[in-house]
Amino acid sequence: MAKVAVVGAGIIGLSTALEIQKQIPKCQVTLISEKFTPDTTADGAAGIFGLYLLGSTQPDRQVVWAKKTHDLIESWWKTPMCGEMGIALVSCSRMNHSPVPPIWKDVVFGVREMSQEEVAEKGRLTGEHTSGLEMLTFTAEPVRFMPFLMKQFKDQGGEIKRAKVENFKDLFNEYDCVVNCTGVYAGSLTLDKKIKPLRGQVMRVKAPWIKTVTLDDLDDGNYVIANQESVVVGGTHQDGDWDRTPREEDKQFIRSGGKCLDPSLKDSVEVGHWVGLRPGRPEVRLERDGIDKKLVHNYGHGGSGITVFQGCAEECVDLVKEVLQEQNIAAVQAKL
């Protein structure tokens, strides 16, 4: 039986581990991670679908990943588990997005250019919005659906190891393939200098009348995203910043900008502030390692982990199959 280790149990690692189980049933998958849900990067996220902070990753590739993921989330929405998994069908308005039409226009539902009247209703801290796109899509809250995926992984015979991996070489004896899904922490395990935290601070409030999502795609933009039990107001994306403590000046930016975008926030009640470190990289690293034949990389998804995880998991499994094939692993030979 083939043995594969997936290092990192965030949304990328967990979905990759599940996809390996699905496509290579005769394979023992071990998920090794320091942190598991609800302590991973994605757990604090609002989970709105959207390609964001993926740098120069090839657009065609982004769209393929996004389509597979959106379709999967739609299938989750169509089940009774929808609510427990934190999936919601929402109207999403993206202000000042460029280019138009967006590359993802056929992935979500009903993309439409907003009228000037609609655009004018939303304010911003400085100046005005010039345009907007509105669509129907999903929010998928990782803190709610990741426990389901964990259970599925374990029920299907997956092994969990809570440990910090200091060096991938330590794993090569025991495992036929090692998949690196360490996200923002990949820099300490590889020689990759390009992976950096994109610090994101957000605030959560109670505002049950807010049922939609509004994002400002400009660099100094804010966003307001309805979740199941609270509304996420954001946010920041500070390059190279490892500080996980919510900062006062960011809170002010979030509060003021949020109220411009949605004045009804004046009646909201603050429930908390949180910081996540997005795994920022000029492009996603989804490839085999150039030196270690057993190592496959799947990290650096910027602010889009929830938007692309399924497509990336599927592409990653193709690479895992390649690795196993090279080692003449019977499990993989039989399937091809």
**Binding footprint of another protein on the chain (CB under 8 A):** 77-84, 86-91, 109-110, 112, 115, 117-118, 134, 136, 207-212, 226, 228-229, 263-264, 266-267
Please state the closest distance from residue 306 (CB atom) to another protein, in A: 16
Rounded to an integer, what distance in angstroms lies between the CA atom of residue 6 and that of residue 58? Answer: 25
Shortest distance, CB of residue 136 to another protein, whole angstroms? 7
Q: How far is the CB of 186 from another protein (least distance, A)?
A: 33
* Residue with Cβ nearer another protein (6 or 265): 265
Strand 2-7, strand 177-180: pairing: parallel
- Cβ atoms of 46 and 286 within 8 Å: the answer is no
The single-letter code of the amino acid at 211 is: K
CB nearer another protein, residue 25 or residue 208: 208
Cα–Cα distance for residue pair 180/187, rounded to 1 Å: 11
Q: How far is CA 295 from CA 191, 273, 318, in A?
A: 13, 37, 13
Q: Which is nearer to another protein, 25 or 110 (CB)?
A: 110
**How far, CA to CA in Å, does 173 sit from each of 4, 170, 179, 221, 316?**
11, 7, 14, 48, 21
Shortest Å distance, C-beta 255 to another protein: 17
- Of 72 and 160, nearer to another protein (C-beta) is 72
- Which token pair is 225? 């995203």
Q: Which is nearer to another protein, 80 or 240 (CB)?
A: 80
Q: Which is nearer to another protein, 24 or 143 (CB)?
A: 143
In DSSP terms, which residues pair with 91 in a beta bridge?
136
Min dist CB 65 to another protein, Å, is 18
Backbone angles phi, psi at 135, to 5 degrees: -155, 170
Cα-Cα-Cα-Cα dihedral sign, residues 27, 325, 195, 45: negative
Residue 316: CB minimum distance to another protein, A: 27
Structure tokens at 89: 């069908």
